[in-house]
Structure 1
Amino acid sequence: MAYSGDPVLASDLLFRPVHSLIDQSLHSRMGATTTNGDGFGIGWYGEGDVPALFKSVDPAWNDANLRELASQIRTGHFFAHVRASTGTPVQRSNCHPFRHGRWLWMHNGALFGFHDYKRELMMAIDPALFGDIEGSTDSEAFFYLALTYGLEEDPYGAVEQAVGMVEDLGREHGVEHPIQMTVATTDGESMWAFRYSSEGKSRSLFFSTEMHRLRALHPEVKALAELGDDARFITSEPLRDLSGAWQEFPESSAGVVRPGHAEVRPFTPRRAATVL
């Protein structure tokens, strides 16, 4: 779940919605697994030059420290993720979001066959970035591959090339459908999201309707009146059942949200440039 808008309490984002991310950690309706209890992480932008992180290997629904912190964090840019491991260890460094400088990254899905082409993929990562990798997940490697291809300058182009490389490597190793992904990434000002899979059957991903339209549709919902006009959410599953509140990202698409602007466009991987 990602939020951008006027500063709000993290607890209102994490715990207040009927089908909040905490509820989804126990009762996912659309995910690959119903329970996501292999750790969690939150990232937020506050007073510092880089976003803050809090991660734990405990299940999100059972972490008292998360509830304590969330009741004191007020932010206008917030990322949160609950994890179900696809094979890598349950450890703090493998929990999302991942951070590099001012950038945060979250990924649902998998790079299938990653173990077979891991060395080749890791060797493609810029040596200047390689030492910052902390964990062992395919998701973090994917992030650093996107950074290598210029995520900080051109998020769309960087992810297109990163996915192109993953598909090329996977298919060279006999993997028919190498990637399944929904991704959210941010620099603290804009949020980008991507929905794509090699198979063409991607995990669910939604963005919220413009707040002024949503208030007009549902004047009875008090929580909407408490959010600013620029408030937008990107989430794997709707946070509550509210007609007109959620728009699904189309298959093979990408989008960006920033104050006063939102767009969705087609997403097509492309062959990666050569990386030294």
Structure 2
Amino acid sequence: MCRWAAYRGDPLYLEELVSSPAHSLIEQSHCATRAKTATNGDGIGIAWYGDRPEPGRYRDILPAWSDCNLKSLARQIRSPLFLVHVRAATGGGTRRDNCHPFTHGNWSFMHNGQIGGFERLRRSMEAMLDDELFNVRSGTTDSELMFLLALQFGLCRAPLTAMAQMVSFVEGLAENILGHVHVRFTAAFSDGRSLYGIRYATDRKAPTLYASPMRQGHCLVSEPLNDDIDAWAEIPDGSAVTIGENGIEVAAFKPEKRISVAAGIAIPA
């Protein structure tokens, strides 16, 4: 399982999540406390928004604790909206194009979780992409493919609806091909204006997600950045979070699926 943190609000330096807190992302990369594996050393990635619509991005396969470039960038980059991810690979090799966050246009996305039986589902999932989105796929992870499918289902028009349709499609596909469904999906994504988060799993064992006010904004994290327990609210399993100009909102996230027997695949309802 991976660890990540995301922030939206008044600009602050990335180091305030990446390296400065007592339980920063760098600390979590070798000593996570609320994950199955304590070590997340298979890469690091940052996506941040500045003066341009599309995000800047830095990714490398070095463990976060030994990446001197990461510490330097985090100390210098100040942004009102950014996503940071330390990876523990559950599928796909340790290579730069498998490191989160993934980006396309003005969108950025990072994920913690997995799709059970992904290798048997991968071909059918890729077949749902149009040529443009299929051709921008550069890695081999289920995370990147889920992001591209969400774009295919209309992420730019209705972000949370598109994510629900993507998860519905994956679940229906698994039910048809594998005979069982196992999806764990805790993700953060942004269009550069709002920050979204989802915590969901078919087995009710979704990777953790917490929210907290920070300066004049809010952050979403896989696990708290310090020991101030009262400052962190755990986001319930089956929830969608939106952080925008009006603050933070939490709503139910429950994908509905419909099976097309004739086609043999799941079609989003």
Q: Which residue of 2 aligns with 1:206?
A: 210
Match of 1:80, SS?
strand
Confirm whether residue 172 of structure 1 aligns to residue 176 of structure 2. Answer: yes
Q: 2:104 aligns with which of 100, 103, 114?
A: 100
**2:249 counterpart letter in structure 1:** E
Q: Which residue number in structure 2 is paired with residue 155 of structure 1?
A: 159
Structure 1 or 2: more strand by fraction: 2
C-alpha distance in 2 between matches for 1:59 and 1:175 = 37
1:49 Cα deviation (Å)?
2.9
Aligned equivalent of 2:263: none
Query: Helix, strand or coil: the match of 1:157?
Result: helix
TM-score when scaled to structure 2? 0.92
8 Å contact 1:171–1:178 — kept in the other structure? no
TM-score (norm 1): 0.89
Give the match for residue 131 of structure 1: 135
1:212-223 matches, within 5 Å, as none
Deviations 1:122-175 (A, max 9, x none): 001232211111111000000000111111111111011100111111122325
Q: What's the offset of the Cα at 1:72?
A: 1.1
Amino acid at match of 2:232: W
**Cα distance per residue 1:87-126 (max 9 Å; x no partner):** 3110000000000111100010001101001110100123
- Superposed CA RMSD in Å reads 1.5
Counterparts of 1:205 and 1:12 in 2: how far apart (Å)? 18
After TM superposition, the structure 1 = structure 2 runs for residues 1-276 of structure 1, keeping only pairs within 5 Å, are 1-174=5-178, 176-209=180-213, 227-228=215-216, 231-271=217-257
Indicate if the aligned counterparts of 2:91 and 2:142 stay in contact, CA closer than 8 A.
no
Paired positions, count: 257
Structure 1: gaps spanning 5 or more residues: 212-226
Instruction: Give ranges in structure 2 of 5+ residues lacking alignment.
Output: 259-265
Change (3 A) 1:98 1:175: farther
Shift of 1:5: 1.1
- Helix, strand or coil: the match of 1:7? strand
Q: Percent identity?
A: 42
SS in 2 for 1:244: helix
Shift of the alpha carbon at 1:12?
Answer: 2.2
Distance 1:155 1:49 in 2: 17
SS in 2 for 1:71: helix
- Displacement, 1:34? 0.8
Letter in 2 for 1:245: A
Residue 59 of structure 2 contacts residue 99 of structure 2 at CA under 8 Å; is this kept in 1? yes
Q: Which residue of 1 aligns with 2:261?
A: none
The answer to whether the 8 Å contact 2:218/2:248 transfers is no
Deviation at 1:63, TM superposition (A): 0.4
Q: Report deviation, 1:271.
A: 2.4
Partner Cα distance (1:174, 1:120) in 2: 12
* C-alpha separation in 1, matches of 2:95 and 2:68: 18
